[in-house]
A and B are shown apart, each in its own frame.
Chain A
Amino acid sequence: MKNMVEIEIVLDEQYADPHVTIKTKTNTQQVENIICAIENVSNSDYPQVAANLDDKLMFVSQRDIVRIHTEGRKVLLQTEDETYTVRRTLTGLEEVLDCARFLRISQSEIINLYKVKCFDLNMAGTIGVEFDCGLKSWVSRSRVKQIKEMLAKSCISEV
Chain B
Amino acid sequence: MELRNKFIINSLVGFILGMLVGIVIWMIPPVNSEGRSLIVHVIVSGIHGLIPCGAATVYEIESWGLTKQTVIHATVTLATILGIEIPMKWWEPEPEMLIALVAYVVIYAIIWLANYLYWKITVADMNKALDEIHSRKDEMNK
If A107-B62, A114-B133, A155-B133 are given as contacts, then 16 extra A-B residue pairs at C-beta distance below 8 Å, sorted by A number, are: A119-B123, A119-B127, A125-B65, A125-B66, A125-B70, A125-B119, A140-B62, A141-B119, A144-B119, A148-B126, A148-B129, A151-B133, A156-B134, A156-B136, A159-B140, A159-B141
Task: Determine the chain A residues whose CB is within 8 A of the CB of B141 once the complex forms.
Answer: 159
Do A123 and B126 have beta carbons less than 8 Å apart?
no
Known contacts: A107-B62, A148-B129, A152-B129. The answer to whether A124 contacts B68 by CB under 8 A is: yes
The 8 A CB mask of B21-62 against A (1 = contact, 0 = none) is 000000000000000000000000000000000000000101
Chain A residue nearest to B68 in the complex (CB):
A124
Known contacts: A141-B119, A156-B136. The answer to whether A126 contacts B66 by CB under 8 A is: yes
How long is the Cα–Cα vector from A158 to B130 in the complex, in angstroms? 15
> Which residue of A15, A106, A123, A151 is within 8 Å of B67 (Cβ)?
A123
Do B126 and A147 have beta carbons less than 8 Å apart?
yes
Task: Determine the chain B residues whose CB is within 8 A of the CB of A141 once the complex forms.
Answer: 62, 66, 119
Do B130 and A119 have beta carbons less than 8 Å apart?
yes
The 8 closest A-B pairs by CB, nearest first: A125-B66, A124-B65, A126-B65, A151-B129, A140-B62, A125-B65, A156-B137, A125-B67
Identify which of residues 69-95 in chain B touch chain A, using a CB-to-CB cut-off of 8 Å.
69-70
Main SS class of interface, B: helix
Do B116 and A19 have beta carbons less than 8 Å apart?
no
24 contacts between A and B (CB under 8 A): A15-B140, A119-B130, A121-B120, A123-B67, A124-B66, A124-B68, A125-B67, A125-B115, A126-B66, A127-B119, A140-B62, A141-B62, A142-B62, A144-B119, A144-B122, A147-B126, A151-B130, A151-B133, A154-B129, A155-B136, A156-B134, A156-B136, A157-B140, A159-B141
| CB of B14, distance to nearest CB on chain A (Å) | 21
Interface size on B, residues (CB 8 A): 27
Residues of B within 8 A of A (CB): 60, 62-63, 65-70, 112, 115-116, 119-120, 122-123, 125-127, 129-130, 133-134, 136-137, 140-141
Cβ of A14 within 8 Å of any chain B Cβ, yes or no, is: yes
The 8 A CB mask of A1-38 against B (1 = contact, 0 = none) is 00000000000001100010000000000000000000
Task: Identify which of B119, B120, B134, B140 gathers the most chain A CB atoms within 10 Å of its CB.
Answer: B140
Task: Identify which of A121, A144, A152 gathers the most chain B CB atoms within 10 Å of its CB.
Answer: A121
Count class of interface residues, chain A: 20 to 34
How long is the Cα–Cα vector from A35 to B117 in the complex, in angstroms? 48
How long is the Cα–Cα vector from A154 to B137 in the complex, in angstroms? 11
| CB of A67, distance to nearest CB on chain B (Å) | 16
Cβ of A138 within 8 Å of any chain B Cβ, yes or no, is: yes
| CB of B123, distance to nearest CB on chain A (Å) | 5
Task: Determine the chain B residues whose CB is within 8 A of the CB of A127 once the complex forms.
Answer: 119, 123
